[in-house]
Amino acid sequence: MLFKVFIMSKWWVIIVIFFYLFVSSRAENMNESSSPGSLDAELQNLAFEALNRPLTGKLYKVAIPASLSGIEASVVRLRSGSFWFRGVNYSHIEIPSRVVPTPFVQRFAIVYQNLGSQSSSYYKVPGYSMSTPVLGFAAYDATNLSSKGVAKLNLTTTRNRILIRFPRAMLPSPEGLNSSFKCVSFDAGMLHFSEMAMPNVCATRSQGHFCIVAPIREVKKRKDQRLWKWLGIGFAFGFAGLVIGGLVGGIIFKFMKRRRIKEMEKQAEESEALGTVWIGTSKMPSARVIRTQPVLEHGEVPQ
C-alpha cells in the first residue's frame, strides 16, 4: 500500500513540474509577442508587403491582422534628396526639411504607427495614465524592397524639431490641459518626459514612440469632476422631469374632471327634466308627483 502511494506521489510531482514548465513557456511567449521590438519588426514586415510597386511619396495603409486588432499603421517610400529639401507631413507627424537618414541611402521608407487601444499592452508609464494612444514612426532602408534583411535607419534633426500632433479627439478640452500633462517618449525601455511644445503637440529630435500622459491623481481628480458634473446634470434633468410630470398630471386631471362633468351634464339632459321649487330662499329641484288612480279589482261596488 505504501509503495502504491509512493508511486502515485511521484507521478503527481512529474505532472506538476510539466504543468509549471508549460505555463512558464506560455508566459514567455506572451511577453515576447507583446514586446515593442517584436511589434516594430512585425509592422515593418507588414508595411513592406504593402509596398507593391509603390509610388514615391504616396502613403499606403497597412493591412493589420486580427491578432493586432486596434493598431493602425501606414507606410510611405521617399527619396532622400527630396526629403532633405521638403520634409514630410503624414499621420499627424511633421518632419521638417534638412533631415537626412543615417546611414545614408537613396530611398527609404517611414512606417507610422498608432497603437490605439493596444498602447498599454506594449508601453507602461508608472505613476501616470496615458491620455492618448501611443504614436510612433521609424525609418527603414527601402533601396531594395525584395531584400530579406531590412536595415533600420535613424532620423535626427539639429535644427527644427519633429512635431507629433495628437488629434484633439484623443485629449480633453484645451481648458482641461494644464502643466500636469507631459509628453513622454519611449527609448529602449527608458522614459523621457518633456513639456508639450503646444497644446496637443509633442516635439522631438529623433524617431520613436510618443504619447501624452497625466499623473494618476490628476486623472482621478478629473474623473471625480466628471462624476459630479454628470450627477448635477442628472439632478437637473430629474427635477425638470418631475416638474414637467406634475404639470402634465395636473392637465390630465383637469381634463378628466371636465370630461366627467360634461358626461354628467349630458346624462342629465337625456333624462327626465326636473322642475324647480323655492323653499325659503333656496331653489331646489322638484319632480312631478304622479299617483296611480285607484281602480277596483273586480269592478263591483259593495252594497
What is the rounded average pLDDT of the residues 205-223? 81
Q: Which helix (H) or strand (E) holds 210?
A: strand 208-215
The dihedral built from the CA positions of residue 257, 262, 263 and 264, taken in this order, carries a sign that is: positive
> Is the full-model pTM beyond 0.85?
no
Give domain status of residue 299, yes or no. no
Identify whether residues 91 and 140 lie together within a single domain. Answer: yes
Residue 28 has pLDDT above 50, yes or no: no
Give domain status of residue 126, yes or no. yes
Q: Lowest mean pLDDT of 113-117, 168-172, 198-202, name the range.
A: 168-172
Give domain status of residue 39, yes or no. yes
Instruction: Work out the pLDDT band at 217, boundaries 50, 70, 90.
Output: confident
Instruction: Work out the pLDDT band at 149, boundaries 50, 70, 90.
Output: confident
Identify whether residues 150 and 25 lie together within a single domain. Answer: no
Residue 295 has pLDDT above 80, yes or no: no
Give domain status of residue 202, yes or no. yes
Identify whether residues 70 and 209 lie together within a single domain. Answer: yes
Calculate the average pLDDT of the chain. Answer: 80
Identify whether residues 40 and 24 lie together within a single domain. Answer: no
In DSSP notation, 273-288 reads: PPEEEEETTEEEEEPP
Identify whether residues 64 and 152 lie together within a single domain. Answer: yes
Identify whether residues 157 and 94 lie together within a single domain. Answer: yes
Give domain status of residue 225, yes or no. no
Identify whether residues 133 and 69 lie together within a single domain. Answer: yes
Give domain status of residue 132, yes or no. yes
Give domain status of residue 162, yes or no. yes
Give domain status of residue 161, yes or no. yes
Cell numbers given for 130: 496615458
What are the respective helix, strand and coil percentages of the chain, to the nearest 5?
40, 25, 30
Identify whether residues 128 and 191 lie together within a single domain. Answer: yes
Find the domain containing 7 and state its range: 1-32
Instruction: Work out the pLDDT band at 301, boundaries 50, 70, 90.
Output: low
Instruction: Quick: pLDDT tens for 126-146.
Output: 999 999 999 999 999 999 888
Q: Lowest mean pLDDT of 59-68, 107-116, 149-158, name the range.
A: 149-158
Give which of 82, 103, 86 is closest to 95, Cα–Cα. Answer: 86
Identify whether residues 17 and 160 lie together within a single domain. Answer: no
Identify whether residues 17 and 158 lie together within a single domain. Answer: no
Instruction: Work out the pLDDT band at 44, boundaries 50, 70, 90.
Output: very high
What is the rounded average pLDDT of the residues 2-19? 49
- Rounded Cα distance between 164 and 90, Å, is 10
Counted domains in the chain: 2
Residue 282 has pLDDT above 80, yes or no: no
What is the domain-level CATH number for residue 181?
Answer: 2.60.220
Q: Lowest mean pLDDT of 19-33, 39-53, 114-128, 194-208, name the range.
A: 19-33
Identify whether residues 113 and 136 lie together within a single domain. Answer: yes
Residue 2 has pLDDT above 50, yes or no: no
Identify whether residues 57 and 162 lie together within a single domain. Answer: yes
